[in-house]
Structure formats: C-alpha cells, structure tokens
C-alpha cells in the first residue's frame, strides 16, 4: 500500500479486532468498508458479504470474525 493507486480494503467483522484493523488501515486506503450487522460503524457498512462484493471491488479483504466463523465468512 505504498503507491498512490486507489486502494479499497474490506473488513469482515467489526469487533475489537475488526475495529483495530480498520483504524490502522484507514490512513492507507482510499476507501474502507466493513461487513457487519452493527450500525455504529464510522465507515461504509454492508450487512452482507454478497452486498459488499456486488457494490465494491476491494484490493484487500481482512477477515476479522471469530476463528470458528472464518470459513462461513467466505460463504456469506
């Protein structure tokens, strides 16, 4: 993420780890989106992975759900 090209990061999950990743990535991304059911998100928010991927094309995806939910995160 050191070039000047636009970058879009998509974070799946917005618990303590997801919010930390968002805070650390935000200064380095042109756009940052979150997939979460929470509504108190200061970034573009999607309720489902399917909706997010239909609307945006991220350069990076960070899975921040509980480890046991990682596989399900990719299936929506």
Please count the structural domains in the chain.
1
Specify if 40 maps to a domain. Answer: yes
pLDDT band at 6 (very low <50, low <70, confident <90, very high): confident
Mean pLDDT, all residues of the chain: 87
Work out the average pLDDT over 9-13: 96
**For residue 3, is it within any domain?**
no
Is 55 within the bounds of a domain? yes
Q: What is the CATH number of the domain that holds 43?
A: 3.40.50
pLDDT at 74 over 60: no
Domain assignment of residue 37, yes or no: yes
Q: What is the pLDDT of residue 75?
A: 52
Is 32 inside any structural domain?
yes
Position 57 in a domain: yes
Burial of 72 (0-12, 13-18, 19+ CB in 10 A): exposed
Structural domain boundaries enclosing 18: 8-75
At 30-39, the pLDDT tens digits run 999 999 999 9
Is the pLDDT at 61 greater than 80? The verdict is yes
Residue 27 forms part of a structural domain: yes
């Amino acid at each position: 993420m050191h070039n000047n090209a636009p970058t879009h990061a998509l974070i799946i999950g917005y618990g303590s780890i997801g919010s930390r990743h968002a805070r650390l990535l935000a200064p380095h991304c042109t756009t940052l989106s979150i997939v979460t059911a929470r509504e108190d998100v200061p970034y573009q928010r999607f309720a489902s992975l399917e909706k997010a991927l239909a609307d945006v094309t991220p350069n990076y995806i960070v899975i921040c759900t509980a480890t046991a939910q990682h596989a399900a995160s990719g299936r929506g």
